[in-house]
Amino acid sequence: MNVLVIGGTGLLGYHATLELLKRGHRVSVLALPPLPVPDLFPASVSIQFGNLNLMDDDAVVSLLSGQDAVVFAAGADDRVTPIRPAYPYFYKQNVEPVKRLASLGRKTGLKKLVILGSYFAYFDRTWPRMKLSTWHPYIRSRVEQTRAAIEAGGDQVAVMTLELPYIFGTMPGRLPLWKPLIKYVASNLPLLYPRGGTTCVTVTQVAQSTAGAVERGEAGKCYPVGGENLTWEQLLQKFVAAAGKRKRVIILSDGLVRLGTRLVKLLHQFQGREGGLDPVRFVELQTANTFIDPAESQFILGYSPADLDAAIRETVAVCLGKTR
């Protein structure tokens, strides 16, 4: 198949591109300049630099022509705190691009659109009492991007979303997003963190899931991608071990966590900004065990069990500058 990876020079897009190539697909990439390192990809990968949001429809149609599938590995994540109100920003970054790709893809014969989304959308469905898409602009955008793309694609473009959790692994020329937390873990400060936990995957598993969705994903499906379920304390202790430290995790009370998040929210309000995740309301999700049973998606998408500890060690080493 001919596959276009949008955001192909980011962590997820890079590994998806390599996995698709390994499986014999012809891959091209759209990305923002510059390349993180020269010769990032084999010569067979066609790279076009540009911002999808700034391209006119004719340019997007030209980009999509001849493509059987598109992987959307771009958009804005939950760390961004745009000018208040936040939702228009996240809509523009996460919803509009996939809606446009699905709509224009109908003109070019595009068969599949695979969106790399967030597992927060999975918990919005499974834990409706939390009203996650009501209170958190980022989560709302992740839920809406799937709905809008499916509607725009109609019966012609099969849209599917991978709902991804926290991901470990590295790539050439880019630092992992985990660096601030890992630097804190490796410091001499006491290690304070909330209760709760998360599911974790490796970037290799995400790449395999992406290729699996391109090859056999079903229209309209959302696939929560899970791997190893860990409490925050267990995950942080893996960071501690990888950093060559010995320290215990001090679990903060929910009350103290909420106090800290109220201060963060006040700061955002003072700055005229709004987080993609409402800091105070996010405490309920942060302190829960956001675990996923990987069995169903793993069977459908065909991703393999992985050595999470090795991926964490690699991530920590890069963040601490301990690689050669």
- Taking 60 as the threshold, does the pLDDT of residue 324 lie above it? no
Residue 117 located in a structural domain? yes
Residue 303: which of 222, 227, 221, 199 has the closest Cα? 227
Measured CA to CA in angstroms, residue 301 lies from 122, 131, 262 at distances of 17, 29, 40
Q: In whole angstroms, what is the distance from residue 125 CA to residue 223 CA? A: 12
Residue 94 located in a structural domain? yes
Measured N-to-C along each axis, helices 308-319 and 232-242 cross at an angle, to the nearest 10 degrees, of 60
Is 298:155 a contact under the CB 8 Å cutoff? no
Q: What is the pLDDT of residue 323?
A: 65
- Taking 60 as the threshold, does the pLDDT of residue 162 lie above it? yes
* Residue 31 bridge partners (DSSP): 49
- Which CATH number covers residue 143? 3.40.50.720
Residue 315 located in a structural domain? no
- For the stretch 47-70, pLDDT in tens is 999 999 999 999 999 999 999 999
- Say if pTM beats, i.e. exceeds, 0.95: yes
Q: Which two tokens stand for residue 212?
A: 């699996």
Read off the amino acid at residue 274.
E
Q: State the pairing for strand pair 191-193/222-224.
A: unpaired
* Residue 164 bridge partners (DSSP): 118
Share of the chain above pLDDT 90, in %: 98
Q: What is the domain extent for residue 92?
A: 2-165+202-226+293-303
Q: What is the pLDDT of residue 173?
A: 96
Residue 145 located in a structural domain? yes
With residue 168 as reference, give the H or E element that holds it.
strand 166-168
Q: What is the pLDDT of residue 20?
A: 98
Residue 132 located in a structural domain? yes
Average pLDDT of the residues in 16-30? 98
**CB neighbours of 1 closer than 8 A, spacing ≥ 6?**
25, 26, 68, 69, 214, 215
- Taking 90 as the threshold, does the pLDDT of residue 81 lie above it? yes
Q: What is the mean pLDDT of the chain?
A: 97
Q: What is the pLDDT of residue 214?
A: 98
Tell me how many domains the chain contains.
1
- For the stretch 90-146, pLDDT in tens is 999 999 999 999 999 999 999 999 999 999 999 999 999 999 999 999 999 999 999
Q: In whole angstroms, what is the distance from residue 187 CA to residue 260 CA? A: 20
Q: What is the pLDDT of residue 322?
A: 80
Residue 17 located in a structural domain? yes
What letter would DSSP give residue 54?
Answer: G
Residue 279 located in a structural domain? no
Share of the chain above pLDDT 70, in %: 99
Residue 242 located in a structural domain? no
